[in-house]
Copies of this chain bind each other. A is one copy, B any other.
């Protein structure tokens, strides 16, 4: 097309895609460019604003490292990451939620009833539940990968004071599908806000806080892997999670219990001398 105009350029783009290209790539690129062009047309985006957009991408590029994923963070705070999760969630299963950038592969085994709190301060949290299929039957041998922040609000990978796998554990459940572990109550924390994504948050008058949560990835042969989070119902940021991760069915009550009520059969049974918190969170996996 020799005479490209602001009205036909999207069709010209689509006409440039070759007949033999992958049909899904054609669909995705066509939709991406349609929306990108519509965005520019709808806002009559200026050259200055375009330059600011390029500067944003170059600013993300400048701080991108193996441990700092600014493009993923941008996707998170724009709600794209959560939307992708929800587009592929199953209505008959527990909701998925954001993976986040702090998952570490190779967490050490944690037995059912095991402890992740060790000598860290803060209230003991006993988390337990049953992994079930959509008919309510326990899924024997399901694997649950657990991670969370330390009481200082940092994940092990962010914190030189912690071991590599501090507050990370990999549990395999028995025939009853039951998981249980003790840990410290997770705390609220901020996403990194010292980069270009932080600039966007400030320009939008937004805060960088996430409500406190436990992260789980739950896998079992024949079932769809579930990446999810568990939130306490009294967290002040539940209604304004900066990465849009909260779902109704992931909000649980942390019950306060007396030390004397602490159950037997846990790694730290008999060692709990103060009131503790207890959360029960059952998980439903959809079949593949």
Give residues in A with beta carbon < 8 Å to B: 1-6, 9-10, 12-13, 16-22, 25-29, 31-47, 49-50, 54, 57-58, 60-62, 64, 69, 71-72, 75, 78-89, 200, 203-206, 238-242, 244-248, 251
Supply 24 A–B pairs (Cβ within 8 Å), ascending by A: A2-B239, A2-B248, A4-B79, A4-B244, A5-B86, A6-B83, A12-B79, A13-B78, A31-B39, A33-B78, A35-B39, A35-B42, A36-B78, A37-B79, A40-B80, A40-B87, A44-B88, A46-B88, A47-B85, A50-B75, A50-B84, A54-B71, A54-B72, A61-B61
> How close is A265's CB to chain B, nearest CB, in angstroms?
34
> What are the residues of chain B within 8 A of A45 when measuring CB–CB?
28, 84, 87
Complex formed: what's the CA distance from A40 to B251 in Å?
A: 26
Tell me whether B2 and A251 are in contact (CB under 8 A). yes
Given contacts A33-B78, A206-B17, contact A3 B40 (CB under 8 A): no
Of the residues B49, B82, B203, B204, contact of A4 by C-beta under 8 Å: B82
Complex formed: what's the CA distance from A242 to B17 in Å?
A: 11
> What are the residues of chain B within 8 A of A204 when measuring CB–CB?
16-18, 21, 25-26, 29
Tell me whether B2 and A246 are in contact (CB under 8 A). yes
Main secondary structure of the interface of A (DSSP, over half): helix
Complex formed: what's the CA distance from A203 to B31 in Å?
A: 15
Tell me whether A20 and B205 are in contact (CB under 8 A). yes
> What are the residues of chain B within 8 A of A36 when measuring CB–CB?
35, 78, 80
Complex formed: what's the CA distance from A33 to B80 in Å?
A: 8
The 8 closest A-B pairs by CB, nearest first: A18-B205, A61-B61, A6-B86, A35-B35, A3-B248, A35-B39, A57-B71, A21-B205
Residue of B nearest to A4 (CB): B244
Complex formed: what's the CA distance from A182 to B212 in Å?
A: 69
> What are the residues of chain B within 8 A of A87 when measuring CB–CB?
6, 40-41, 44-45
Tell me whether B83 and A9 are in contact (CB under 8 A). yes
> How close is A19's CB to chain B, nearest CB, in angstroms?
8
